[in-house]
Chain A
Amino acid sequence: MPTLPTVTLADAVAAIVMLALNAYVILGGADFGAGVWDLLAVGRRAERQRAVIAEGIGPIWEANHVWLILVVVLLFVCFPPVYARLSVELHVPLVLMLIGIVLRGSAFTFRAYDSTGSAVQRHWGRLFSIASTVTPFVLGTCVGAIASGALAVPAGADFTARFLAPWTSPFALATGAFTLVVFAFLAAVYLTVEARDEDLREDFRQMAILAAIGVFACAGLVAWLGSRLDGAVTGALFTGPLALPLHAVTGLAALTAFAGLVRGRFRLARAAAVVQVSAIVWGWGYAQYPALIPGVHTVQSAAAPAITLKLVLIGLAGGAVVLVPSLWYLYRVFKSEAASAFVRVDTAEYRAPK
């Protein structure tokens, strides 16, 4: 029997960071993806598609966004050197991503509350959707830069080699595209469940199928480019003991989601899409483990003192007691089947751009 690896305190905290990142991807990521579909909405039903999108993310996007803040905070508390290093090396893309985050959130809110005229609202809508598209791509290039081991920059590297090259490599750019289509895929799948009108549901179904194919293509591209990188970085993804089960889960979930979409079983497709994307996130974590920044820091080498980690774990447990029921309540009010049957008399006036 293979011996079980010992799980340290730092491992536990790193797993929680991954969990928070996972939550951000499947919740916050989908909100960005919805913005992508706002940008791509065409045809007679474009405005109605945009209305469903706005209605779908309106009550929840701010809460979903906090997962990212949780990831950042956990990183700088529990793995301070990792946070510091990423902030230095990825300064340029992180600034771009922040500008995207600011414009996305502000423009979405301005569109909702600016009832001065449809032309102005259209401008806000356009800004919201462009920012929703650029931001996940840039976030993905950061992930690509980390995963490819490109942040282990040799001392004395010039500006381009140090601050631009790592996140603009083919692998990083492909990871950016992959992130973008994954977010768009999640959004389209969720929207098939949330649309209450058959025509719109069919629109979102087609978008979701298109995105699913895009996810498949980008995954292939990332895997191919990854296999050409230094083997130490991505090796575990193909050869590690958990590689096969991870790939099996991802593949099975992807097939289920696709079949669900094709056959109109949207709730099943949604559940499968969540599993599929979560498996991708954990696959990345697994491929890198125990490195947090390959070639620079591992979970152990970067971990804060045990007392800090212990207190954070206690704090997280206490926080979860408040957070979990609150989140459950939020989703029950706005996302349960019973909730979607309600007529929104009051909010409709400033929600749907006409």
Chain B
Amino acid sequence: MTDLLAARGQMAMSLAFHIIFAVLGIGMPALMVLAERQWIRTRDPVWLDLAKRWSKGTAILFAVGAVSGTVLSFELGLLWPRFMEYAGAIIGMPFSLEGFAFFTEAIFLGVYLYGWTRLSARAHWWAGVAVAVSGTISGIFVVFANAWMNAPTGFRVVDGAAVEIDPIAAMLNPAAFSQSLHMTLAAFATTGFAVAGIHAWMLRKEATSAFHRAALRVALAIAVPAALLQLVSGDLSAKFVARTQPVKLAAMEGHFETAARAPLRLGGLPDEATRTTRWSVDIPGGLSFLAFGDPDAEVKGLENFPESDWPPVAVTHLAFQVMVGLGTLMALAAAWVAVCWVRKREVAETRPLLGLLALLTPAGFVAVEAGWVVTEVGRQPWIIQGVMRTADAVTPMPGLVVPFAAFTLLYLFLGVIVAWLLWAQIVKTRPDPAHPIRRDV
């Protein structure tokens, strides 16, 4: 394994690990404060039990998310020092602001987790709101920085050096809005579907459990709108990529030949050697319409670009298919939930829907990972689109396979422990409505 490949592997693995915690770190606090709000309003102990369980989950996930995020803040330099040396001063704004958002999140999470008996119910709830809001903002800022790698603005290159730096323009780069919207909605949809799926599965066994019904309701309250809005946001993102990163779009679609009335390819396997995508189901004019709003528009194919600028086409295309497929499935499930709710004011009675929701438990995570593969692998061979190649950014440190292996083992270990802890401590323990609580001391 070359050092470049090891560095890319370590970065990909670290991000793939961290993104799970980042997504849950945005979604879980929202669930937690919604449940606590219901408790404050109704004083029904089911809600308090839920809020407490979710806050324990948040505590575990946040701790691992915080330390794996720390690792990333160092890995940017440990693996890509030339990138950071070049880009640090340009994209520093979102990172600095993210630092403050993360700080606020950590402070109020401490207040929330350890403050159940020390604060008034209202103050405690507001601490939870601060966690949820600052966590979301922190995620948005990080995506701003990533968006800049796709749409680098706010500087000019003169003799290989960046001059006339404008950090505000870099932060508010053209990709910032569509990408951060897409990621934030993904965080809520993923968390919502994961939690809803677990409780839907439980409800198939204990159909009358008030606890699982309450949990399902809150989880769907964030999952349904997020999954439906994600369709619009996804369309926005695709149109943006079509305009700014035509190579990436072509790879996402397995689109080799430039053509008007380009078809939308569902599935299929692109082959770079023969420059064809086989076994796909084609919708004529579909790609032209989705990318440019006109079924007859010309869409540039990969042939228009030198092969040295192509991302790995098959990986990008397949990841895109997985993301869109699961996103569509989640949106359909969300629509079904909405219909059930409007007609019956209850979702838990519709057993086939519970079955579908249970099946979709991991869907959001898979879609998120696939989406990151699309945006990151799809940008290759560039680390900064059109400005710096990934191969030119890597550290001169030899033997990078060693830290790659070390962090992989470490994260595997942590992943297993966290999954087991969440299961044993939060899901599996019996709901206990008579939890000894002294909220008003």
Contact = CB atoms under 8 A, between A and B. Distances in A.
Contacts of B392: none
Contacts of A323: 100, 103-104, 107
Contacts of A58: 110, 114
Contact of A339 (B78, B104, B118, B395): B118
A174 B150 CA distance: 45
Interface stretch (A44-52, A78-86, A176-184, A282-290): A78-86
Interface string B82-120: 101111111011011111101110111111011111110
A337 to B, nearest CB: 14
A305 B165 contact: yes
A66 B64 CA distance: 14
Contact of A102 (B67, B88, B90, B165): B67
A106 B74 CA distance: 18
A160 to B, nearest CB: 12
A312 B437 contact: no
Interface residues of A, number: 70
Contacts of B436: 345-346
A311 B168 CA distance: 9
B102 A66 contact: yes
Interface in B227-276: none
Interface stretch (B54-62, B302-310, B354-362, B374-382): B54-62
B81 interface: yes
Contact of A62 (B109, B115, B417, B424): B109
Nearest to B437: A346
A91 B403 CA distance: 10
Nearest to B86: A80
Contacts of A63: 103, 106-107, 110
A81 B441 CA distance: 53
Contacts of A25: none
Interface string A322-354: 110011011001100001001111110010000
Contact of A87 (B77, B96, B165): B77
A62 B96 contact: no
Nearest to B398: A159
Q: How large is the interface on B (under 10, 10 to 19, 20 to 34, 35 or more residues)?
A: 35 or more
B85 A84 contact: yes
A347 B68 contact: no
A235 interface: no
B89 A346 contact: no
A223 to B, nearest CB: 30
B340 interface: no
A72 interface: yes
A62 B110 CA distance: 7
A163 interface: yes
A94 B78 contact: yes
A347 B130 CA distance: 21
A309 to B, nearest CB: 9
A73 B68 contact: no
B208 interface: no
B165 A308 contact: yes
Contact of B107 (A69, A81, A99, A327): A327
Contacts of B74: 72, 87, 94, 98
Contacts of A69: 69-70, 73, 99, 102
Contacts of B71: 98, 101-102
A311 B90 CA distance: 11
A304 interface: yes
* Main SS class of interface, A: helix
Contacts of B63: 62, 105-106, 108-109
A298 B212 CA distance: 60
Contacts of A159: 398
B332 interface: no
Contacts, number: 221
A307 B166 contact: yes
B66 A60 contact: no
A216 interface: no
A122 B27 CA distance: 31
A224 interface: no
A88 interface: yes
Given A115-B425, A304-B89, A68 B111 contact: no
Contact of B93 (A59, A98, A311, A345): A311
Contacts of A334: 110, 114-115, 118
A106 B425 contact: no
Contacts of B81: 83-85, 87-88
Nearest to A97: B74
Interface centre among A114, A308, A312 (most CB of B within 10 A): A308
B76 interface: yes
A95 interface: yes
B62 A326 contact: no
A319 interface: yes
Interface in B401-441: 403, 406-407, 410, 414, 417, 421, 424-425, 436-438, 441
A346 B110 contact: no
Contact of B99 (A80, A95, A319, A346): A319
A205 interface: no
B92 A78 contact: yes
B325 interface: no
A59 B88 contact: no
A106 B116 CA distance: 22
B396 interface: yes
A70 interface: yes
A198 B99 CA distance: 40
A338 B210 CA distance: 39
B395 A88 contact: yes
Given A87-B78, A343-B117, A347-B117, A322 B106 contact: no
A327 B110 CA distance: 11
Nearest to B400: A91
Contact of A65 (B66, B89, B96, B119): B66
B158 interface: no
A91 B395 contact: yes
A73 B111 contact: no
A110 interface: yes
Given A70-B103, A115-B425, A323-B100, A86 B77 contact: yes
Given A102-B414, A114-B421, 13 more contacts: A70-B99, A80-B86, A84-B88, A85-B81, A91-B403, A105-B67, A113-B60, A159-B398, A319-B103, A323-B107, A333-B111, A333-B118, A346-B437
Which 3 pairs of residues, A with B, have the shortest CB-CB distance?
Answer: A77-B92, A87-B77, A80-B88
7 contacts: A63-B110, A74-B96, A84-B77, A99-B406, A330-B108, A345-B441, A346-B437
